[in-house]
Chain A
Amino acid sequence: MGTLLLAAIALAGAPAASVAYILAAELVLGRLPVRSRRALRPWVWLAPALVFVAVFLVYPTLDTVVLSVRDATGAAWIGLANYVYAFESREALIALRNTVVWLVLFTGVVVAGGLGIAALAERVRYDAAVRGIVFLPMALSFTAAGVIWKFVYEFRPAGAPQIGLMNAALGALLPGFEPRAWLVGAPWNTLCLIAVGVWTWVGFATVVFAAALKAVPAEIVEAARVDGAGEWRVFLNITLPLLGPTTGAVATAMVITALKVFDVVYVMTSGNFDTDVLATRMYHALFVDQQLGRAAALAVILLAATVPVMAVNLRRLRQ
């Protein structure tokens, strides 16, 4: 009951308090001379957002950089030892390697798959249904997707009835197929996890590419067809170049997603069997090993990897 009351206060009270703050501040502003009113008003409206962003994003990011050159408890300066750990210990190197594999394969397959599905679906009348089905996993949490696919990958020894779809389907299709524990053996297990990520995110790429395909001018495509270009020529030489900016935007979003991937690995393997990624290794360093400095160093590496994406975003903003 106490919880419900607290939630009701937060749900109704916090927005009401923010409205009251604006009204009260505007009342005060109204009594000031015009010049100071003009100068102060933007900061009144910006203040709540700036405070939250400063406390939960700006300060923590800077503090993490500081913590990354400190020891396990954050008390003493230890130079670059945490970065040496990140680039020399076996477990951190595996996490780094897997994150790179995620970056390349996840991004590549989602972009290519989304483009492929969008281009194929454009040719049939039930295109909206296809897009809807492929987009559906976007609504689900990676936690739920992890359970769904852990069940698909479920393994029973040969001879026993398989209850996992993967082993059963392959057993039915390929004669002499030996059931496998998909999530145990490296490097296949990481590929199996990436497949779950692809299953979840391809719908996003499909929807974005479908919108971009609709915007390709029909006259140009028609003109090429009249000139005798086949379907493939039209797609490769006309459609694809026009989709350049969209491809860039989708790839950027997927790079960020791949860098931060955590839930799917945490739920399906807990990072065991060499499936760790940077985010799960960092969680482990923080909560299991209680190594604040190491966790911070791994976080700084993640942050550094996003800097090029920030630069791209800023350049796009200027245009």
Chain B
Amino acid sequence: MRILRRAPVHLVLWLICAVWLAPVVGLFVSSLRPASDVAASGWWTVFRHPAFTPANYRDVLTAQGLGAGFFNSMVIAAPATAIPLLIAAYAAYAFAWMAFPGRGALFALMVMLLVVPLQTTLVPVLRLFTAAGLTGTFPALWLAHTGYGLPLAVFLLRNFIGGLPPDVLDSAAIDGAGAAQTFFRVVLPLSLPAVASLAIFQFLWVWNDLLVALSYLGGRPSVAPLTVTIAGLVSSLGSGWHLLTAAAFVSMVLPLAVFFTLQRYFVRGLVAGAVKD
């Protein structure tokens, strides 16, 4: 009786899981099928007539520029994660443990900037980069992502650092530690869980970003990250699905690895960062 009553619940949940997984499975299966098969029959027929090839991956990684794209994404995302987090931690420490005039107002400004749409900054920042000769270069993206990532990082780290036990900071001061020593020896190590969640969020946010890269890199293939390269392939390849599916999967490898290995930090980071974009 109980099982019968619960059957609809199970059915709906299984259906939801199928709808969420099937498109991803279809993408992965298609990326491994020969080009002629992908164009001729649905990917689900592969379970009756299995035929696989690594050729699509070989093609996208070399001829279609995905290998270079992967490298560029890495070069963009790593510094664009490390720099804003450290700078945000300094500011969060000041907001949390130092008294100064205008503290409340400045923090309120950070909270407001949290939801400012990126698009609002596009035109003036582009003009700044053009004037400085930075358009189409990696430093432009490192700087821009640092600026865009700061409000969220300052906001979350201030709340975390502000919640550290005052005794710990006091005893460091009694031991004769200055502000810098207290920060690097006590505050930063204690904040690692928050920093880790934020780092994952910021890294994936930069890794998955299309708009910022598209706007400030000007579509130069030599500096294009994966997202820009793939967006270009979508329009140039049309329905070359054997290549598009492989390309998309290449861009998903790292996020999926993060998802499966660091799930706890990953969920916490994304949920905390969801207000932004």
Contact = CB atoms under 8 A, between A and B. Distances in A.
A278 B117 CA distance: 11
Given A152-B23, A199-B20, A310-B112, A207 B82 contact: no
Interface in B21-79: 21-24, 26-27, 30, 38-44, 71-72, 74-75, 78-79
A260 B276 CA distance: 10
B26 A152 contact: yes
A6 B197 CA distance: 27
Contacts of B9: 120, 123-124
Contacts, number: 329
B274 A42 contact: no
Nearest to B21: A133
A143 B208 CA distance: 8
A61 B113 CA distance: 10
Given A55-B128, A56-B144, A120-B13, A67 B123 contact: yes
Q: Is the interface of B mostly helix, strand, loop or mixed?
A: helix
Q: Is the interface of A mostly helix, strand, loop or mixed?
A: helix
B20 A23 contact: no
A56 B123 contact: no
A286 interface: yes
Contacts of A18: 83, 86-87, 90
A121 B79 CA distance: 39
A318 B113 CA distance: 16
**Chain B: interface size category:** 35 or more
Interface string B87-118: 11011011100111001001111111111111
A178 B39 CA distance: 20
Nearest to A252: B275
Contact of A147 (B16, B17, B234): B234
Contact of B147 (A4, A14, A56, A207): A56
Given A14-B83, A143-B231, A53 B208 contact: no
A132 B75 contact: no
Interface string A35-57: 00001011101101110110111
A149 B252 CA distance: 14
A232 to B, nearest CB: 13
A21 B40 CA distance: 61
B264 to A, nearest CB: 11
A76 interface: no
A71 interface: no
Given A142-B210, A302-B119, A147 B230 contact: yes
A307 B223 CA distance: 35
B139 interface: yes
A287 B217 CA distance: 12
Contacts of B79: 7, 10-11, 14
Interface stretch (A184-192, A215-223, A237-245, A291-299): A291-299
21 contacts: A10-B83, A18-B90, A46-B95, A46-B106, A49-B91, A52-B84, A56-B121, A120-B13, A139-B252, A140-B255, A141-B209, A142-B210, A152-B26, A164-B42, A165-B23, A253-B275, A263-B227, A270-B235, A299-B117, A299-B122, A303-B120
List of 6 A-B pairs having minimum Cβ-Cβ separation, nearest first? A56-B147, A141-B208, A60-B121, A49-B91, A60-B124, A10-B79
